[in-house]
Amino acid sequence: MITIAQSTIIPASTDRVWQFFTELDDRYRDWHPEHVEWRTLQGPPLTPGAIWYAHEWVGRVEISSRAFVTAADPGRYFAYRIGFPSALVNARGSFHLTPLDEHRCRLDETATLGFALPIVGAIFDVLLRVLLPIADMRRHVREEGTNLAALFAHAAES
């Protein structure tokens, strides 16, 4: 399996960051310049069973897909799996919010591709590393954390 993970200190409470994620239909493009569109298709945002559509660029690769919320603990955590065609590579991820104090939290973002299968999983991971822009994906996730921290820092200054 290939795991892309990033931890970022956000200068905001977990409640404020959670609220940002529930408003992604309106805020997605503010988060990262490679983000194009986010639409909640079904259910309340960030609840199990909710479905969203995301369209973004990761470097030179355009990615459009549906995502399905598989688990959530409001204000703290949500996990998702990506639909077809990304489902072919078992794409999934999660966001964890951990309060540090009343004005800061840690955001842990994780994206995973591939399968935990002996031999076949390792071969599949090699193919993914050749075919997908893994370095750009790592950069994109890192920038999402940095940009989110900057958005909240700027809001605090205003």
Quote the pLDDT of residue 88. 66
- Model confidence at 136, pLDDT cuts 50, 70, 90, reads confident
Which residues span the domain enclosing 108? 2-157
109 alpha-carbon distance from chain centroid:
6
What is the average per-residue pLDDT within 85-90? Answer: 70
Mean of the per-residue pLDDT values of the chain: 89
| Residue 13 near residue 103, CB atoms below 8 Å | yes
For position 128, which CATH number holds? Answer: 3.30.530.20
pTM, full prediction: 0.88
Q: How many domains does the chain have?
A: 1
